[in-house]
């Protein structure tokens, strides 16, 4: 049994699920975190277990501090040590211009996409930092190229939360660089996941594909490969860095 544990928030679908499967294939014990879709999370767990790898499920709303504490306390109960955190949990809401964005919507996005990243990273650093008795580790944040493009007329609020995640990535990377903890991020572009349906346009990848230099949308597995590389020792001299996975957009 591996002694390396990876926590992947929001790993019951899409990029998170692909990342969970990839880490499992490399011998990690995978903590599959999910908010409400227990069936989807169990499906991912069943795939991992069928491959002979180990995983465990933790339901937690990572935007809520008590849930985050419970999540990491559950990790502490497992054999092995936390080695990697992937801050993948995030949402977007139906497409809207600024005129349709109210405080309730904005605050929901901020707590889900940004607060969760801060809280989970705090708990991971407490366990990984060599300054606090840990053995080092890696944090990978799943941002979005929307942070640089702004997502006008559709998701400026979502884009702003991802911009906050980028700033946090850089700041935390410098804060803990001498403590054995590396912090990096991926910025996916248009990826074939169900998050587009959450925004009200399931076919958005197909609509935007002609605007992408590679003339196609990406797959969750392509993002997972970049996440894994950033978390692995193959990127041991990389911190505070972003990988854009956009097909050239």
**61-84: per-residue pLDDT in tens?**
999 999 999 999 999 999 999 999
pLDDT computed for residue 195 by the predictor: 82
pLDDT-above-90 percentage for the chain: 92
Q: Is the torsion defined by CA of 11, 35, 5, 178 positive or negative?
A: positive
Q: How confident is the model at residue 194 (pLDDT cuts 50, 70, 90)?
A: confident
* Confidence (pTM): 0.96
Mean pLDDT value of segment 125-144: 98
The catalytic residue positions are: 158
Q: What mean pLDDT value characterizes the chain?
A: 96
208 or 126, which is more confident: 126
**206 pLDDT higher than 70:** yes
| 4-245 CATH choice from 3.40.50.1100, 3.40.640.10, 3.40.50.720, 3.40.50.10490 | 3.40.50.720
pLDDT computed for residue 248 by the predictor: 94
Residues 189 and 205: their CA atoms lie apart, in Å, by: 10
Q: How confident is the model at residue 2 (pLDDT cuts 50, 70, 90)?
A: low
Asked if 19 contacts 33 with a C-beta cutoff of 8 angstroms, the reply is: no
pLDDT computed for residue 249 by the predictor: 85
* Domain map (residue ranges) of the chain: 4-245
């Amino acid at each position: 049994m591996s002694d390396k544990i990876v926590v992947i928030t929001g790993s019951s679908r899409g990029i998170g699920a692909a990342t969970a499967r990839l880490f499992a294939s490399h011998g990690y014990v995978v903590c599959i975190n999910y908010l409400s879709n227990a069936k989807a999370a169990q499906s991912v767990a069943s795939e991992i277990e069928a491959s002979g790898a180990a995983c465990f499920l933790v339901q937690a709303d990572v935007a809520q501090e008590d849930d985050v504490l419970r999540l990491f306390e559950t990790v502490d109960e497992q054999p092995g040590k936390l080695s990697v955190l992937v801050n993948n949990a995030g949402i977007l809401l139906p497409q809207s211009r600024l005129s349709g964005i109210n405080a309730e919507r904005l605050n929901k996005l901020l707590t889900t996409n940004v607060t969760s990243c801060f809280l989970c990273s705090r708990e991971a650093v407490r366990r990984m930092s060599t300054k606090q008795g840990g053995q080092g580790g890696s944090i990978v944040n799943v941002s979005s190229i929307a942070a640089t493009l702004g997502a006008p007329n559709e998701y400026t609020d979502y884009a702003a939360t991802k911009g906050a995640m980028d700033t946090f990535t850089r700041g935390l990377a410098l804060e803990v660089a001498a403590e054995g903890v590396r912090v990096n991020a991926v910025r996916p572009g248009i990826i074939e996941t169900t998050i587009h349906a959450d925004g009200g346009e399931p076919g958005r990848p197909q609509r935007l594909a002609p605007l992408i230099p590679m003339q196609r949308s990406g797959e969750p597995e392509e993002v997972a490969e970049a996440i894994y590389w950033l978390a692995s020792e193959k990127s041991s001299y990389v911190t505070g860095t972003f990988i854009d996975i956009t097909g050239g957009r």
